[in-house]
Structure 1
């Protein structure tokens, strides 16, 4: 204890090293790409080091701040106007656009603008999900990109020009869930993974059904395929047979049949049996999954059909 009358020396100030700010710009840009765009921009107030980092992020997540809720287009339009002006035209690894409501054609134009901005920034993976009723129509212009490798769409209206991926030579993964397909074919020389679930087609241009089956293209690089019952309901399952015969290097086939959502009561797994007589389908097919809620007559018919292609299941 110091003698009375002598003031105590104050403790030296505690300094905390900001280890995150010490990281290289490239790494911080990557970290910011996981945040919603609103939160990424707000990091500019953390310190001088962060003032302009958000302008060069490698990803844009145009989503709600609450991870459990999507954003409304109208709520973010003004914010995005400023962001697109200030954001540098750097290459983008990922762009996610997810919202649950759009009001009018004005909102649709904004979504198209954001999508075109992503393409201009040479995005490699683009996600566009809509939870609102109906289908959002993108610009009736073909996607042109030498960099786009992954495209994930939900509740989008797709016309012929948008399904012509001749100008996307790097596209490997394509997912379409609950989309409206208004075209008679998908054109791609590079596609390896294709998922089409809960989609519908215009009555005047049924997607690769009936007479269009004769023009079904060869998916020369397709290795993974996910389909729902839409492809298994026609007489004699011709659509499914056509796709299998035109996928010479297919390795994995998943059929999600007569059930909604990711949860299924029954899952069966099989594979191609090359010991039996030659089949018209890919000899590389080593995983076949059938997911359903109940094994009824429709499922049994599909299983018998697959067995005709030398596909055997483990029960």
Structure 2
């Protein structure tokens, strides 16, 4: 704090705080964060050591030269952080994959980041071209707490999650981009004992996904499912720890929930669902319907 005297009165002026500067710069993409160095001496070099890295693809489609520059920026930044032992706590990457030749270099960049043991938050937004198939692997991150993956695909992909003992929140989105119905993603995962919140946005939910939800997260407290269709006869959710359940669907579904600690249930859809609570009904039930036309028509 710095004291200033104006008209006989003493005021205190708060100087640039490194934590505050880091916080502001961590909300910006790398290039925008670098531009803050002109603000003052306190800002001059902090951008190059912020623990949160964000790479946002500024165009939906990049030509070969632009893509090479984008990947080079990502690769060189990661290499500098690892070389200088600068901690990476959060990594946010947006990437539009239009040609399979770009898959190996971008996977190499992600692999280098995930080798950083203090990584706590990982956010990936990936858009795949029609003829690309890919296996996403997130493994051996002891400190990772939050994992968010947004994938736009037209073909089948595989998601593998193993050895993430500290993971508390998983948010996976795989929305539909076409009129045809796709097969559910292959979702391979080991038991996550610290998982508290799970958000899944799938075009199709089948028995295998339901089995994973019921068996792999023993202490899950919040579950959100956004789906276009459920090919299981009954969507059967069973959990001894679940407190909040939110379901979104455009198709009529039948739901059975066995969750004795459930406090809140929220359903959003076009049709009235079939609801069964064999154990204990939640304290709060909220139904929201999306109408195709006005009620008075």
**1:311 equivalenced with 2:281 (yes/no):** yes
Q: 1:286 aligns with which of 263, 278, 290?
A: 263
Does residue 1:26 correspond to 2:23, yes or no? Answer: no
Please tell me whether residue 137 in structure 1 is matched to residue 141 in structure 2: no
Is contact 2:92-2:122 (8 Å) kept? yes
Number of the residue aligned with 1:263: none
Match of 1:251 among 239, 243, 250: 243
Q: Where does residue 154 of structure 1 map in the other structure?
A: 150
CA distance in 1, matches of 2:199, 2:212: 21
Alpha-carbon RMSD across the aligned residues, in angstroms, is: 3.5
Q: What is the number of residues matched between the two proteins?
A: 250
2:191 matches 1:187: yes
3-state secondary structure, aligned to 1:311: coil
State the structure with more CA Rg: 1
What TM-score, normalized by structure 2, do the two folds share?
0.69
| 8 A contact 1:184–1:207 mirrored in 2 | no
* Structure with the larger helix share: 1
Maintained 8 Å contact 1:112/1:138: no
Q: How far has the Cα of 1:34 moved from its partner?
A: 0.8
1:52 to partner: Cα distance: 2.5
Higher fraction of strand: 2
Which string of whole-angstrom CA distances, capped at 9 and with x for unpartnered residues, describes residues 168-219 of structure 1?
1110101111176324555322211111112458xxxx6626xx95996252
> Given the superposition, is the C-alpha separation of residues 31 and 138 from structure 1 closer, same or farther in structure 2, using an over 3 Å criterion?
farther
Deviation at 1:151, TM superposition (A): 0.6
Per-residue Cα deviation, 1:16-55 (whole angstroms, up to 9, x for no partner): xxx89x4233332222111111111233455554443222
CA–CA separation in structure 1 for the residues paired with 2:29 and 2:216: 39
Deviation at 1:86, TM superposition (A): 2.8
5+ long unaligned stretches in structure 2? 1-12, 176-183, 288-297
Q: Secondary structure at the match of 1:108?
A: helix
Counterparts of 1:229 and 1:52, CA distance in 2: 45
SS at match of 2:215: coil
CA distance in 2, matches of 1:52, 1:228: 43
- Cα 1:109–1:44 shift into 2, 3 Å: farther
Distance 1:71 1:284, change over 3 A: farther
Kindly indicate whether the alpha-carbon contact (under 8 Å) linking 1:193 and 1:222 is maintained by their aligned counterparts in 2.
yes
